[in-house]
């Protein structure tokens, strides 16, 4: 097995260079057609952020869901926020600040699984995982940091676990996150 990829991320941009947050919420992972990856990634991201020790509070996707479902008004605010974010890529300041206040966090991390598959390129068989991250300041709704990267691992007989590649990739990417 050979892990291919570079030490530099395909895309990484910091929008607020000296940003510091004490608490962060992990939004449920957007997996699209890669359905099996969401639950795995939710845990990896939360664990990675907790292990970094950068935040005094890391609200997992499960914690966030409980917070949002605790009050019908917060559930509606979250639904409206996510609709605007997905449909027009707009992080609404008023809605994000209400979610942050309701759940006691200063920032959100959103993750998208861009690739999660086994592919063949020429004679090479590969396991490929691609992730995108976005950190948003809850109070302002502004982007703090975005990154995207894909890792591939070639194999001959035994398929490597996509979750193992994803864990390494998430750790590598999150280590470059503005915090």
- Write the pLDDT tens digit of every residue in 107-165: 999 999 999 999 999 999 999 999 999 999 999 999 999 999 999 999 999 999 999 99
Instruction: Give the rounded distance of the alpha carbon of 94 from its chain centre.
Output: 22
The string of pLDDT tens digits covering residues 3-60 is 444 468 999 999 999 999 999 999 999 988 887 888 889 999 999 999 999 999 999 9
Give the SS3 label for residue 30: strand
Q: How far apart are the first and last CA of the chain?
A: 34
**46: burial class by Cβ within 10 Å (0-12, 13-18, 19+)?**
buried
CATH topology of domain 9-64+105-174: Rossmann fold (3.40.50)
């Amino acid at each position: 097995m050979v892990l291919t990829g570079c030490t530099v991320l395909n895309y990484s941009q910091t929008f607020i260079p000296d940003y510091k947050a004490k608490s962060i919420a992990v939004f449920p992972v957007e997996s699209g057609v890669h359905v099996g990856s969401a639950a795995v990634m939710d845990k990896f991201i939360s664990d990675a952020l907790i292990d970094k020790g950068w935040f005094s509070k890391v609200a997992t996707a499960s914690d966030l869901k409980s917070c949002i479902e605790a009050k019908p008004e917060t559930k509606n605010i979250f639904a409206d926020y996510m609709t605007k974010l997905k449909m027009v890529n707009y992080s609404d300041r008023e809605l994000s600040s209400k979610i942050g206040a309701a759940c006691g966090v200063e920032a959100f991390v959103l993750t998208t699984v861009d690739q999660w598959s086994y592919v063949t390129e020429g004679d090479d068989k590969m396991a490929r995982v691609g992730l995108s991250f976005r950190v948003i300041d809850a109070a302002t709704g502004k982007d703090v940091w975005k990154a995207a990267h894909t890792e591939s691992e070639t194999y001959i007989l035994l398929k490597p676990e996509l979750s193992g590649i994803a864990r390494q990739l998430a750790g590598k990417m999150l280590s470059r996150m503005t915090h």
